[in-house]
Amino acid sequence: MKKLIYSFIALLAVGCSFMACDNEVEEYDIHINPITPDSAAAGVYEGTWTRMLLTDSSTVEGTGRVVIESDTAYLVTLHFISEEFALDKSATANITYANKGFYYFNNSSTNDLKVTFYGSIDKEGVHTTSFVINQVENRRVKKFQYTFTGIKVADEEVKE
């Protein structure tokens, strides 16, 4: 009988401790940016493309750009362009804020690149991206890894 009474008192003490909890939430300073990342990141980024041939790891550098166009909230179209490497591909990607910059990705290989890819724009505005694609060179299909590093030079594409 004593065991039953002690068990009941212990159960009552545990139950009362849950009732003593306060349901009020303290105020937190939460900042929600009213500008979606697709609008904030949109623009022309000029910089250096590094192309590495995967069969022998030889690398070549050239100039080029990445143009980011806002589609809808959290979705952008990226245009990867380098005249020197005959690179002119487009693809859509999801984009989000990350570490005071941006992060974008596309996990589908049904885009113009035919591969999944990702990229980021850091808090200093440096844009980097990398992907591996098959490309025809000298009438042969070769596998190249492209890496881009550049900065924003315009908020929207300059029409030529």
Burial of 101 (0-12, 13-18, 19+ CB in 10 A): middle
Nearest to 148 by CA among 75, 85, 56: 85
Residue 30 in domain: no
- Ramachandran sector of residue 99 (left: φ over 0; alpha: ψ -120 to 50; beta: rest): left
Residue 33 in domain: no
pLDDT confidence of residue 5: 72
Residue 23 in domain: no
Residue 52 in domain: yes
- Side-chain half-sphere exposure of 150, counting CA atoms within 13 A: 27
C-alpha span between 12 and 105 (Å, rounded): 53
Domain range holding 115? 41-153
Residue 2 in domain: no
- Name beta bridge partners: 67: 44, 79
pLDDT confidence of residue 137: 84
Distance between alpha carbon 139 and the CA centroid of its chain, in Å?
34
Residue 16 in domain: no
CATH of the domain at 65: 2.40.160
Residue 6 in domain: no
pLDDT confidence of residue 158: 46
Q: What is the pLDDT along the chain (160 residues), one digit of tens a residue?
A: 667 676 767 766 666 666 555 566 667 676 677 889 999 999 999 999 999 999 999 999 999 999 999 998 899 999 999 999 999 999 999 999 998 899 999 988 888 888 999 999 999 999 999 999 998 888 899 999 999 999 999 986 544 4
Nearest to 80 by CA among 35, 132, 143, 40: 132
Give the chain's count of helices (H) and strands (E). 2, 8
Residue 9 in domain: no
Determine how β-strand 101-106 pairs with β-strand 87-98.
Answer: antiparallel
Contact 127, 119 (CB under 8 A): yes
In the chain, the number of structural domains is 1
C-alpha span between 141 and 130 (Å, rounded): 19
- pTM here? 0.75
